[in-house]
Amino acid sequence: MQTELSKKLGIEHAIFGFTPFPAVAAAISRAGGFGVLGAVRYTAPDDLARDLDWMEEHVDGAPYGLDVVMPAKKVEGPNHQNLTEADVEAMIPEGHRQFVRDTLAKHGVPELAEGEASGWRITGWMEQVARNQLDVAFDYPIKLLANALGSPPADVVRRAHDQNVLVAALAGSARHARKHADAGIDIVVAQGYEAGGHTGEIASMVLTPEAVDAVSPLPVLAAGGIGSGEQIAAALALGAQGVWLGSLWLTTTEADLHSRALTGKLLAAGSGDTVRSRALTGKPARQLRTEWTDAWDDPSGPGTLPMPLQGLLVAEAVSRIQKYEVDPLLGTPVGQIVGRMTSERPVQAVFDDLTCGFERAVDRINRIAGRSGQS
């Protein structure tokens, strides 16, 4: 499963795996893919450094990368000054806070223990937090820096290139892809509607070839709804130089969701059990549909706030829902591929399945083209 890009990065398979879990990212790199660690949950630079130290010890010399979130648009104060987390918190209307309290009370969600801080703070959506993460990451031999919400600022792109780090950015349309190319991005991740997390409205089958045509000769990775080797073969046939997979790793044995109930919901979910909702961050993000997403999407409610206000507003609530495993409200970002995630398997087993499926697809196409027996 080799492409020009995979050869450039020195990986065996053109499979890029995004995950918030260091153990999963390391296992992806060891299996011959390219593990990409999501940094958004690291609000303390020391915590990120600790896990990058761990990655260094467990990738067996294989390459890996980091994914940060630097929104193209940010909340600013008067005269465009940067805002602190406290400044942003103060902008949240009391009516929205009351809606959160009422929704949690309706479902009997217990309070956190006195003095217990929320373990789920979406401050990584704030640019300065991401910059602090980069100050740590560039001390490590990362080979790729990816940004999930638009192109990184020009100075970040220059800094990465000065350290021979490739820069990738996610795009939900050909127009976004061209903007990335103009910004000096090295790799465009064309993320279709089916994907988990923040995603646009164009399906992968349409988006991938459009992005390939828009930014050629820049390499494009296909993302969204991909969870089999046959789908990888389809993505490469559409012109992609690899695939970007995220949701598929959530039910691997190396993943650490801290909730057997949530793992059970993922294993039981079908491809129709997700929804694009602004409930989590303020931007449309595909996630499991729950009574929590239904409440925020209900026209009778107050509606969601823009990023990063929504993430700060619901941070403690999400921590409480997860800690106490309140089933009707319990969810996570995940793509429509969740319907294929029916068992817990090690990362290596997932790779074995992907590569075998890819070989089956190539053999099938060869037979159709009258090239049976050729590779």
Q: What is the pLDDT of residues 224-239, one digit of tens each?
A: 999 999 999 999 999 9
List, as own/partner pairs, every contact residues 188-192 make where C-beta atoms lie below 8 angstroms and the sequence separation is at least 24, other chains included: 188/215, 188/218, 188/219, 188/220, 188/221, 189/16, 189/146, 189/220, 189/221, 189/223, 189/244, 190/220, 190/221, 190/222, 190/223, 190/224, 190/240, 191/223, 191/224, 191/244, 192/222, 192/223, 192/224, 192/225
Q: How far is CA 211 from CA 71, 225, 336, 369, 375, in A?
A: 21, 16, 21, 26, 28
What tens digit of pLDDT does each residue of 244-272 get? 999 999 999 999 988 899 999 999 999 99
Cβ proximity of 242 and 15 under 8 Å: yes
Q: CA-CA distance, 123 to 42, in Å (whole number)?
A: 9
Which tokens is 90 given? 């103060």
pLDDT at 124: 45
Identify which has the larger pLDDT, 132 or 59.
59
Residue 55 — very low, low, confident or very high, per pLDDT cuts 50/70/90? very high
What number of residues does the chain have? Answer: 375
Q: Are strands 197-198 and 220-223 parallel, antiparallel or unpaired?
A: unpaired
Nearest to 254, CA basis, from 42, 33, 20: 20
Whole-number average pLDDT of the chain: 92
Q: CA-CA distance, 335 to 232, in Å (whole number)?
A: 16
What tens digit of pLDDT does each residue of 319-330 get? 999 999 999 999
Q: Which amino acid is at 41?
A: R
What tens digit of pLDDT does each residue of 25-42 get? 999 999 999 999 999 888
Mean pLDDT confidence for 188-203: 96
Residue 166's DSSP bridge partners are 144
Mean pLDDT confidence for 309-324: 91
What tens digit of pLDDT does each residue of 202-224 get? 999 999 999 999 999 999 999 99
Mean pLDDT confidence for 307-329: 92
